[in-house]
Structures are given as structure tokens and as C-alpha cells.
Amino acid sequence: MWMSECFVVLGIMAQYYQTTSPIIPGSNYAEVRKKALIYYSAIEKQTKRRPYIRSVYFKKQKVFFDYFWIHLAQKNHLIQTERLKYLLVAVELLKYSHVQPEIKNNPNKKNERFYRFFGITKSRQFFGVQIKENLTHERKFLMSVFPIKKSSANL
């Protein structure tokens, strides 16, 4: 479902995608991680090689998960739990969203570009999804999923 509504996040007016999936329920890291890995294993089983999803916005190109787990492992358990809860809605956003993301070139590496998509869950919680594109090989990678706090998001 594509939404043309906008909200202000970090001083930038952004369009968002309304998801139909809920966030992953759970109160501690082990519980949320177990449910997230069950969902992720279903994605893994769809291919013999590296897991990926196809994105409508990128004209059905593959978005790989290589950097997502590495980036997540660098955070503490509290932040990992908070971000893993949004894995299901992030995958839905990437699969079905036509909404224009925020696009930035990496100032440190000229062959990289970042896309930041925004979404809102069924329970009205805002979140962001960051994709890294390697311009040399034209590959895209899911980097991060993160909740957006109410103070930085205004409807």
C-alpha cells in the first residue's frame, strides 16, 4: 500500500509506506531474535546461495542481507532487540514500496550510495530502512532497520 502522506523526520519532509505486517513481539533479546531468525530462515530457504529479497522500487533487483547481520552484531543487545523487531516490516517495505527514498552518496567512497526508506507499522510506529548500493557492481545490501522516535517524527 503506497501512501502519499508525509512526515518530518530529522528536519526532512519524507514520504512513508504503510505496512500491513506487525512488528515482531517480544520483551527480551532471545525471544525476539528467535522469532526473527524463523522469519529470516524462510527467506534463506528460497535460494541455495546468499539470501535476498526482490525490491519493487529497484525494479525487482536483489537486495542482499550480507551487511545487516554484521551491522546488527556491532550493537548492544538492547539496540539489537529494538531493531530486530522491525525486520518483518522492513522486508515488506522493501518488497512492495514505490515510495521515493532519501538518497545520499557516500562522501568517503565514490562508488557507494545510500537509500533511506521510511515506513509506519500497523500500530503507528515509524521506522527507517537503510540500503547501501555498490555502484561498481550494481548490488544492493540491507544495512540497517531502526525505529524513529516520536520526537523526530511529526505528522
Q: Specify the number of domains making up the chain.
A: 1
Over the stretch 112-132, which tens digit does the pLDDT of each residue have? Answer: 999 999 999 998 999 999 999
Q: Which of 97, 90, 95, 115 is nearest to 105 (CA)?
A: 115
Map grid coordinates 512488528 to a residue.
23
Over the stretch 71-83, which tens digit does the pLDDT of each residue have? Answer: 999 999 999 999 9
> What is the model's pLDDT at position 75?
94
Torsion angle in degrees (nearest 10) through CA of 21, 23, 29, 35: -20
Over the stretch 9-62, which tens digit does the pLDDT of each residue have? Answer: 555 556 889 999 999 999 899 999 999 999 999 999 998 899 999 999 999 999
Q: Which domain holds residue 22?
A: 2-154
Indicate the pTM of the whole model. Answer: 0.84
